[in-house]
Structure 1
């Protein structure tokens, strides 16, 4: 009895000791991170600079505090920033269907300013800039000394103004200089809608479309394209999201909804650990036109980011598609814009994306089921093919001879899925639908939470162009290529006949 009492007393003393130690540690950590000591240091440095710096006009409180805020936000991640009134105003106007610039999307990758996408109809792509190029100088100004907002401001400008970029191409480690003139860039969303060349897809009919970015009408444009292709007898579909930088999150969710049942969880966003900020995004029954159960392949590359990663990652996890290409960019975070008065604002990362199997996209990207890479030469040829509408007749003829290895792999995968589905249908009793299988990465289910309204990870431009609905053949028997896109500026013209 005495021994038992002694043991109990020892345990109580041990637990009390651990609790006291834990409390002391927590108090010490709270004391260390209280901020008072650091604020005192900040104030001391601020006043020292104001009193001793040689140029008094550079050390006003406003300039010093703004610089401190810029550094504070920039140190968090490449997507967080302090925005002065001019930048904040540009961001609010970024939802327009046009903007002035050179047609590129930029981000910081491995601490280097990198071109995520270059619109094929923009000045940058026309001059030879490729996605993945690293910007070293903008008009002879080193980018390592620039913040993100400064770089964006230097790239934008009035139409007709000249701009020079010095870039390093990682694939070859060569330096290039490109000169271009800023233009009014018109946004578009879904393009190159068509049936692929039957010489590549026989004995099946396979549809193809490209999503350039996710804007408000994207899901509706894609649904229109799918309806048209289905009327033409499409057996499988290839969705090309290479060089897609993302856009409106709600639009990406609606695109997922075209291929899965209404109410399916396709994305979860989770905020700071312990905050309880968990949002679950499900596909909408209201925006879904009909069930589409044919096999689906999605093409991605190193410049597929944000919304493109949401769609490919979700449909891959749900075993609804086969992802073909390269590991994506890895931009899977949500930024909130918080106004702070006087026309200023801060843009801050507040959550991260998680796929249905709870994979995190941020800094990891989506790994394709079928890896298909392009050489630097093939990357250039693909960019020329996408921008063929802007090329001279001689250059267009050369571009039409390009064989797209990634598209060929996607078509082969769809043929396999169709053969498997046909075989499975024979083995099943009549009346049971044959699924269109696709491999996907497994994982634990995403945490549940109440559905919330759709938000955007970043503002995106509205698209005004409708998809081209054609049934043209690609010019090269070895592989089908996207036909000439329809744009608001130029009417559709028939593709050239295949070479004899």
Structure 2
């Protein structure tokens, strides 16, 4: 193997010597880097205290190279690559959190609603200090994902530090199959529809539009509150189509990589089912990626009023590149920009009106877990349990009132969406 390597080296040196050109220095640098890598590979394989195969060394080298670039680029083993493909299909196994590596610390971007992590009390911004007793300090993002995931019914123990806490707590979470119900709805008042998007997966736009159509069968739609709080994002195409539901024309988002001439724009298409009623969008620190694309597009088009708190600030685009052996590379290849050319990366979307969440007195912990939850009983025209009340309409109104009482940001959103037609006349 080494003899072959030095033969190749000699041939390369000979070629470079007899055929100089404008890229000679670049080729020399490239060759020297490969030569140095080969030497290190040989030394580790020969002298490292424990047995290690060349395949392991090369895989670890690739992994280290990719993961040093940024928190979102990573090397995917064949198993990781298969799991990644499952994640966007609508359900997967785990505890139900979106995590990221922020300044070397493993951070919960947001727990996904109605999942084991959400029910256990995990919150956006939680630091994960240990996984099953093992420190996450030197752990890569992919290693953390592997340790947190596992078979349904098994338990994972996490040592977490809540954002405002001074002492970490350990929580035990039983893993499960995570079904993603990405679009939920509720009537806040007659004609005013609450739409909650929990994630952008393959069926998000379809489900959202179905809920709008269903609502319009029994109500005259006067306004929409679109809730993107704690939505970690998902598929770019779904973000574009969700925004397109409310925008009639123009750019929704564009992405641009290293080559400034290689820009790709995504435009709104004229649809017969566009929603033109007043719109208010709710965001917070857990609103990331695709959520920020939607909020940014609606804000730049002056199509919606954005309220709440500054969003997470993930404005990079990852491309999945499959490899011949079944593995893959998730590589950051571009940044995305709002229609007005704003990069959201590390900045986030600033709301038009900043409204911090204020928990009701003596109910903070419960509210932080429950304030975004829409369950089956909360949905319009849900199936009753056999003891159907004659006052179903009154019950729906009571549920909406209860939700509004617990959520000051939602109360503000409703008042603003009702006022938007009047504010537009003033302008």
Category of TM-score, reference length = shorter chain:
0.7 to 0.9
Structure 1 residue 114 and structure 2 residue 107: aligned?
yes
Structure 1 residue 29: Cα displacement: 11
Structure 1 residue 389: Cα displacement: 4.9
Q: CA separation in 2, counterparts of 1:73 and 1:207?
A: 44
**Larger RCO (CA within 8 A; separation ≥ 6):** 1
**TM-score, structure 2 length as denominator?**
0.82
In the TM superposition, 1:215-254 aligns within 5 A as: 215-230=201-216, 231-254=218-241
Aligned to 1:117, the other structure's residue is in SS state: strand
C-alpha contact 1:166 1:176 (8 A) present in aligned 2: yes
Which residue of the partner structure matches residue 387 of structure 2?
none
C-alpha contact 1:195 1:206 (8 A) present in aligned 2: yes
| Residue deviations 1:288-327 (CA, integer Å, cap 9, x gap) | 3334222110001111111111100001000000111111
Q: CA separation in 1, counterparts of 2:254 and 2:364?
A: 36
| Residue deviations 1:339-383 (CA, integer Å, cap 9, x gap) | 222122111011110100000112111111111123587575142
C-alpha contact 1:194 1:229 (8 A) present in aligned 2: no
Aligned to 1:144, the other structure's residue is in SS state: coil
Q: Identify the match of residue 156 of structure 1 among 149, 152, 171.
A: 149
Which residue of the partner structure matches residue 256 of structure 1?
243
Q: Identify the match of residue 328 of structure 1 among 295, 311, 333.
A: 311
Which residue of the partner structure matches residue 62 of structure 1?
55
C-alpha contact 1:195 1:234 (8 A) present in aligned 2: no
Structure 1 residue 387: Cα displacement: 4.1
Q: CA separation in 1, counterparts of 2:24 and 2:123?
A: 48
Query: Unpaired runs of 5+ in structure 1?
Result: 1-26, 199-204, 425-436, 438-500
Which residue of the partner structure matches residue 292 of structure 1?
275
Structure 1 residue 225: Cα displacement: 2.2
| Residue deviations 1:455-490 (CA, integer Å, cap 9, x gap) | xxxxxxxxxxxxxxxxxxxxxxxxxxxxxxxxxxxx
Structure 1 residue 38 and structure 2 residue 24: aligned?
no
Structure 1 residue 120: Cα displacement: 2.8
Aligned to 1:157, the other structure's residue is in SS state: coil
C-alpha contact 2:89 2:201 (8 A) present in aligned 1: no
Structure 1 residue 282 and structure 2 residue 267: aligned?
yes
Structure 1 residue 70: Cα displacement: 0.9
Which residue of the partner structure matches residue 10 of structure 2?
none
Which residue of the partner structure matches residue 126 of structure 1?
119
Which residue of the partner structure matches residue 361 of structure 1?
344
Aligned to 1:386, the other structure's residue is in SS state: coil
C-alpha contact 1:126 1:390 (8 A) present in aligned 2: no
Q: Identify the match of residue 266 of structure 1 among 233, 244, 252.
A: 252
Query: Unpaired runs of 5+ in structure 2?
Result: 1-21, 378-398
Structure 1 residue 414 and structure 2 residue 417: aligned?
yes
The structure that has the greater radius of gyration is: 1
Which residue of the partner structure matches residue 447 of structure 1?
none
Q: CA separation in 2, counterparts of 1:108 and 1:264?
A: 35
Q: CA separation in 2, counterparts of 1:380 and 1:47?
A: 57
C-alpha contact 1:211 1:241 (8 A) present in aligned 2: yes
Structure 1 residue 269: Cα displacement: 0.5
C-alpha contact 2:371 2:406 (8 A) present in aligned 1: no
| Residue deviations 1:425-478 (CA, integer Å, cap 9, x gap) | xxxxxxxxxxxx7xxxxxxxxxxxxxxxxxxxxxxxxxxxxxxxxxxxxxxxxx
Q: Taking structure 1 as reference, are residues 154 and 402 closer, same or farther at Cα in structure 2, changes over 3 Å only?
A: farther
Structure 1 residue 388: Cα displacement: 7.2
Q: Identify the match of residue 383 of structure 1 among 369, 390, 395.
A: 369
Structure 1 residue 169: Cα displacement: 1.3
Structure 1 residue 197: Cα displacement: 4.4
C-alpha contact 2:358 2:408 (8 A) present in aligned 1: no
Bigger shift: residues 156-165 or 118-127: 118-127
Q: Identify the match of residue 72 of structure 2 among 73, 79, 94.
A: 79
Aligned to 1:349, the other structure's residue is in SS state: strand
Q: CA separation in 2, counterparts of 1:43 and 1:388?
A: 56
| Residue deviations 1:143-170 (CA, integer Å, cap 9, x gap) | 1222121111111111110110111112
Which residue of the partner structure matches residue 46 of structure 2?
51
Which residue of the partner structure matches residue 185 of structure 1?
178
Which residue of the partner structure matches residue 429 of structure 1?
none
Which residue of the partner structure matches residue 19 of structure 2?
none
| Residue deviations 1:7-65 (CA, integer Å, cap 9, x gap) | xxxxxxxxxxxxxxxxxxxx89955993333333322222222222111x22x211111
**TM-score, structure 1 length as denominator?**
0.71
Figure out how many residues of one structure are paired with residues of the other and give that number: 379
Which residue of the partner structure matches residue 498 of structure 1?
none
Structure 1 residue 74: Cα displacement: 0.6
Coordinate RMSD, CA, aligned? 2.6
Structure 1 residue 400: Cα displacement: 6.2
Q: CA separation in 1, counterparts of 2:288 and 2:366?
A: 20
